[in-house]
Amino acid sequence: MIEFRSITKEYKKGIKAVDNLNLKLEEGKIFGFLGPNGAGKSTTIKMLVSIIPPTSGEILYNGVDIRKDPVAFKKLLAYVPDEPKFYQKLTGYEYLNFIADIFEVDEKTRKKRIEKYSALFGLEEALKDLVSSYSHGMGQKLSLMAALVHNPKIIVLDEPMVGLDPKASREVKDIMRSLADSGSIVFFSTHVLEVAANICDRVGIINKGHLIAESSVDELLKGKGETLEDYFLSITKEA
């Protein structure tokens, strides 16, 4: 389990991008993180994947601060950013092999996974080309493949559906489900409330750095007779 304990991030002194966040992410569950623009979603994700440190508070994995043994934690983790960056002079294959080397995935296993996911995403031919020739959507798919090549125990995705065609978007949702079903922690941010309502086991809504709701979609909407979109719009307006 991952636990955010009183996590606060101030980029500028006195201005809290994330304010006293307490949140638990469980194995086997897909957790959707929702919020308006500038609410603090990417900041939370970047703290979880150790790109930026919190100003205060701690993030625990199975009870241990993730900063205690960062390499051990990162070995379990895959991060799919909203704007993936690649080494442009590598081919897709070279990039995936580079990532597989870092995560010490053996040759046979990586070959099997690369074949499986390149077929799913229709990227078999493109993997021979330089990454610099890829469209935005192809880059998104490559970034997802790089995450999946080491079969992560924890996968964190920032706006994973943006720029994907409908088929790839469906594949990503199915992959997230099967990772969760195999016991991984799946945490992603999205603006697409329909996706969140359909695939998440739990959702959290953040607004102006504060977590203002957190539960299963059903519990959130129980007795309210609303869609997730109606509920989201009403509580982010009030807060």
Nearer to ligand ATP, 27 or 214 (CB): 214
Beta strands across the sheet bearing 154-158:
77-80, 154-158, 185-189, 30-34, 202-207, 210-215
- Is residue 38 within the footprint of ligand ATP (CB under 6 A)? yes
Exactly one of 40, 84, 152, 160 binds ligand ATP (CB under 6 A); that residue is 40
| 51 Cα distance to chain centroid | 14
CB of 210 to ligand ATP, least distance (A): 12
Nearer to ligand ATP, 53 or 183 (CB): 53
- Is residue 39 within the footprint of ligand ATP (CB under 6 A)? yes
- Is residue 197 within the footprint of ligand ATP (CB under 6 A)? no
Distances (CA, A) of 24 to 57, 115, 203: 14, 34, 11
- Decide if 90 contacts 131 (C-beta within 8 A): yes
| 201 Cα distance to chain centroid | 14
- Decide if 35 contacts 213 (C-beta within 8 A): no
Site for ligand ATP in 43-72 (CB under 6 A): 43
Nearer to ligand ATP, 40 or 204 (CB): 40
- Is residue 42 within the footprint of ligand ATP (CB under 6 A)? yes
Nearer to ligand ATP, 31 or 117 (CB): 31
Exactly one of 2, 4, 25, 41 binds ligand ATP (CB under 6 A); that residue is 41
CB of 59 to ligand ATP, least distance (A): 15
Tell me the window of 30-38, 128-136, 141-149, 160-168 that interacts with ligand ATP (CB under 6 A): 30-38
CB of 176 to ligand ATP, least distance (A): 19
**Cβ atoms < 10 Å from Cβ of 127:** 19
Exactly one of 35, 54, 84, 204 binds ligand ATP (CB under 6 A); that residue is 35
Q: What secondary structure letter does DSSP report for 52? A: S
Classify the C-alpha dihedral 117-118-123-126 as positive or negative. positive
- Is residue 190 within the footprint of ligand ATP (CB under 6 A)? no
CB of 43 to ligand ATP, least distance (A): 3
- Is residue 37 within the footprint of ligand ATP (CB under 6 A)? yes
Q: Give residues with Cβ within 8 angstroms of 171, minimum separation 6.
A: 120, 121
**Cβ atoms < 10 Å from Cβ of 97:** 18
Query: Phi/psi class of residue 104: alpha, beta or left (left: φ > 0; alpha: ψ in -120 to 50)?
Result: left
Name the residues that contact ligand ATP, by CB under 6 A: 11, 17, 35, 37-43
